[in-house]
């Protein structure tokens, strides 16, 4: 679990959250809200700026990963962040 992340702020720095795990995300990220039925591409910089429009507390479970598929960040509807390494 990734601790002490304030998801109430309007932006999130995905690179900063992943850095302690020595993960450098690629510039294009993939987002999934519906068990891989609707995967959306977004630029890393855009996600950081538009995060408040991408995830809604109490309503959304969001998976974020890149094309390497070596990691996946899960943001649960209650705000808990979990990281899975798929290496």
Structure tokens at 75: 């943001």
Report the first-to-last Cα separation within the chain, whole angstroms: 17
pTM: predicted TM-score of the whole model, two decimal places: 0.83
Q: Are 82 and 70 in contact (CB under 8 A)?
A: no
The residues, ordered by sequence, that sit 6+ positions from 83 with a Cβ below 8 Å of its Cβ are 1, 2, 18, 21, 23, 71, 72, 73, 74
Q: What is the pLDDT of residues 48-75, one digit of tens each?
A: 888 888 888 888 889 999 999 999 998 8
Q: Which of 62, 68, 58 is nearest to 12 (CA)?
A: 62
């Amino acid at each position: 679990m990734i601790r002490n992340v304030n998801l109430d702020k309007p932006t999130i720095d995905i690179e900063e959250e992943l850095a302690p795990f020595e993960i450098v995300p690629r510039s294009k990220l993939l987002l999934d809200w519906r068990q891989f039925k609707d995967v959306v591409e977004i630029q890393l910089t855009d996600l950081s700026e538009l995060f408040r429009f991408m995830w809604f507390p109490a309503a959304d479970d969001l998976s974020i990963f890149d094309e390497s598929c070596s990691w996946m960040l899960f943001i649960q509807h209650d705000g808990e962040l979990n990281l899975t390494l798929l290496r």
